[in-house]
Amino acid sequence: MSSQTETIRRVTVPQIARRKGGEPIVSLTSYHAHTAAIVDRYADFILVGDSLGMVMHGMESTVGVSLELMIMHGRAVVRGTKKALVVVDMPFGSYEESPAMAFRNAAKVMKETQCGAVKLEGGARMAETIRFLVERGIPVMAHIGLTPQSSHVMGGFKTQGRDEETWEAHVEDAKAVTEAGAFAVVLEGMVEAAGGQDHQAIEIPTIGIGASAECDGQILVLEDMLGLNPWTPKFVKVYGQLGPMIEDSVKRYAEDVKSRAFPTEDEVYR
C-alpha cells in the first residue's frame, strides 16, 4: 500500500480545522514509537514537540534542539502510529529568518518524517511565513502566548497576560495567524481570561496548555501527565505515577542481580 493512502486514513488537517466549537480535540506530545502507539488510540493529533530537548535529552530549554533531532523523533512517531495526525515542531533557528528558509526546512521535515503538519511559534510576526508555507502545501499549526523558544527574551517560562494591557496584543496574534491560514493555534501559558478572549476572537480551533478550559482542545506533555517529571508546571494534571513505578522496578532488579535471585531457570536457555 502506498504511503499516500496511509496518510489519508489518518485524521486530516481539515478534520481538525472543522472542530471549532465541536467535540473537544484530544492531544498529547510523543517522541518515540512505543508511547506514540498507545497515544494514537486516543488522540486526534500527536505533537512531536521540541520539548523533547528538555524531556528526552536533558536540555535546560528548547533553544538547543536541532532540525535533525526533530526529524529523528518525528520519524519514530509516524512509524509507531496509524490514526492520529502527526504534527512536528519546527525548532528554534529553523524558520524565523525568512519565509523561504522556513519553507525549505518545513518541507524537509514533511518529506523525511511523513508527518501531516508542522507547528511554529509566534503570532503577528510569523504571519507572513505561515501564509507562505500554507500557500505552498504545508499545513501550519500556530503557537502563541508563552513561546518557550523566546524564553531568553522573556526572562524564563513566564505566564503571559498577567497585565491586562497585553491582552489586545495576544488577540492580534490570534487573529494574525488565523488570517495567515493556520489550521489551529496552541495557546500556551496565559491567564485564563486572556486565553478565553483569544479563543473567542478567532474561527480556528484553539488548543490550550495552561490557557483556558474554553479552548477547542487541550494538549499536555506526555511525560508530565505520566508522572515522569519530578516537577511540572501548574497547568499539568498528573494522571499516572510512572516515575515511582520505574524506580521500584529498577530497585528490585538491582536487588535480584546482587542476591542472584535473577536469572532463574525461567530466564536461561536449556
Ligand X SMILES: CC(C)C(=O)C(=O)O
Ligand Y SMILES: Nc1nc(=O)c2c([nH]1)NC[C@@H]1CN(c3ccc(C(=O)N[C@@H](CCC(=O)O)C(=O)O)cc3)CN21
Kindly identify the residues of this chain, within the stretch 51-70, that bind ligand X according to CB under 6 A: 51
Q: Examine residue 54 and tell whether it contacts ligand Y (CB under 6 A).
A: yes
Tell me phi and psi for residue 140, to 5 degrees. -120, 130
Provide, rounded to whole angstroms, the least separation between the CB of residue 260 and ligand X. Answer: 43
Angle between helices 127-135 and 167-180 (to 10 degrees): 20
Question: Which partner, ligand Y, Mg ion, ligand X, none, binds residue 16 by CB below 5 to 8 Å per kind?
Answer: none
Question: Which partner, ligand X, ligand Y, Mg ion, none, binds residue 186 by CB below 5 to 8 Å per kind?
Answer: ligand X
Q: How many residues bind Mg ion (CB under 5 A)?
A: 3
27 is in an annotated binding site: no
Rounded to an integer, what distance in angstroms lies between the CA atom of residue 38 and that of residue 15?
Answer: 21
50 is in an annotated binding site: yes
188 is catalytic: yes
Q: Which is nearer to ligand Y, 15 or 159 (CB)?
A: 159
Q: Is 96 helix (H, G, I), strand (E, B) or coil?
A: coil
198 is in an annotated binding site: no
Kindly identify the residues of this chain, within the stretch 192-231, that bind ligand X according to CB under 6 A: 209, 219, 221
Q: Which is nearer to ligand X, 89 or 173 (CB)?
A: 89
Q: Examine residue 39 and tell whether it contacts ligand X (CB under 6 A).
A: no
Kindly identify the residues of this chain, within the stretch 170-189, that bind ligand Y according to CB under 6 A: 189
Q: Examine residue 166 and tell whether it contacts ligand Y (CB under 6 A).
A: no
Question: Nearest Cα to 170, choosing from 221, 211, 217?
Answer: 211
Q: Examine residue 160 and tell whether it contacts ligand Y (CB under 6 A).
A: no
DSSP 192-251: HHHHHHHHHH-SS-EEEESS-TTSSEEEE-HHHHTT-SSS--TT------HHHHHHHHHH
Q: Which of 96, 188, 247, 265 is catalytic?
A: 188
Q: Which is nearer to ligand X, 157 or 262 (CB)?
A: 157
Task: Report the residue number whose CB is nearest to ligand X.
Answer: 49
Retrieve residue 205's grid coordinates. Answer: 480551533
Per-residue DSSP letter, 64:
T
| Single residue of 50, 173, 188, 198 touching Mg ion by CB under 5 A | 50
Retrieve residue 60's grid coordinates. Answer: 535546560
Q: Examine residue 11 and tell whether it contacts ligand X (CB under 6 A).
A: no
Segment lying near ligand X (by CB under 6 A), choices 31-39, 46-54, 248-256, 261-269: 46-54
207, β-bridge pairs:
186, 217
Retrieve residue 231's grid coordinates. Answer: 516537577
Alpha helices in the chain (DSSP H): 3-9, 13-17, 33-39, 52-55, 67-80, 99-113, 127-135, 151-154, 167-180, 192-201, 222-225, 242-259
Annotated binding site for 3-methyl-2-oxobutanoate: 50-51, 89, 119
Q: Catalog residues that contact Mg ion under the rule CB under 5 A.
A: 49-50, 89
Q: Which residues are catalytic?
A: 188
Annotated binding site: 50-51, 89, 119, 121
